Amino acid sequence: MHELGVVFSVVRQVETVCMENAVTKVNKVVLELGEVSTVIPAYLVDCWQWAIKRTQILQETELEIRMIDAVTYCEDCEKEYPTVKHGKICPYCGSEKTYLLCGNEFIIKELEVE
């Protein structure tokens, strides 16, 4: 379960931003999470709840996760398709000359602070 390490990294980054901007309380952290990012949202939330109890500035901070669909592009037919449903092989032309356009992101999108 690498979600705990991911959460520790997010907590450190948020704390750094808060220190640099004299913020004393964070109400919400918004993460953008790609559908194929290998991070399991439910595990991430569980780890978040555990981790925020260990830092003063994030004690009651809400975590909002916005999912980003995984989309793949086919170089042969120049079409896009949903990655999870079809994988690496293009459902339109059967080509394997494809690549992921989006869906593996893990971004701290915004912080809501007091």
Which of 38, 28, 35 minimizes the C-alpha distance to 6? 38
Residue 21 neighbours by CB distance under 10 Å: 9
The pLDDT score that the predictor gives to residue 67 is 98
Quick: pLDDT tens for 49-79.
Answer: 999 999 999 999 999 999 999 999 999 999 9
The listed CATH number (3.30.2320.80, 3.40.50.720, 1.20.1250.20, 3.30.300.20) that belongs to domain 3-69+103-113: 3.30.2320.80
Above pLDDT 70, what percent of the chain? 99
Domain extent listing, the chain: 3-69+103-113
Q: Residue 14, SS3?
A: helix
Output the pLDDT for position 20. Answer: 97
Q: Model's pTM, two decimal places?
A: 0.88
* DSSP code per residue over 70-82: -EEEETTT--EEE
pLDDT value of residue 1: 58
Q: What stretches of the chain show up as alpha helix (H) in DSSP? A: 3-20, 41-52, 83-86
pLDDT of 114 reads 85
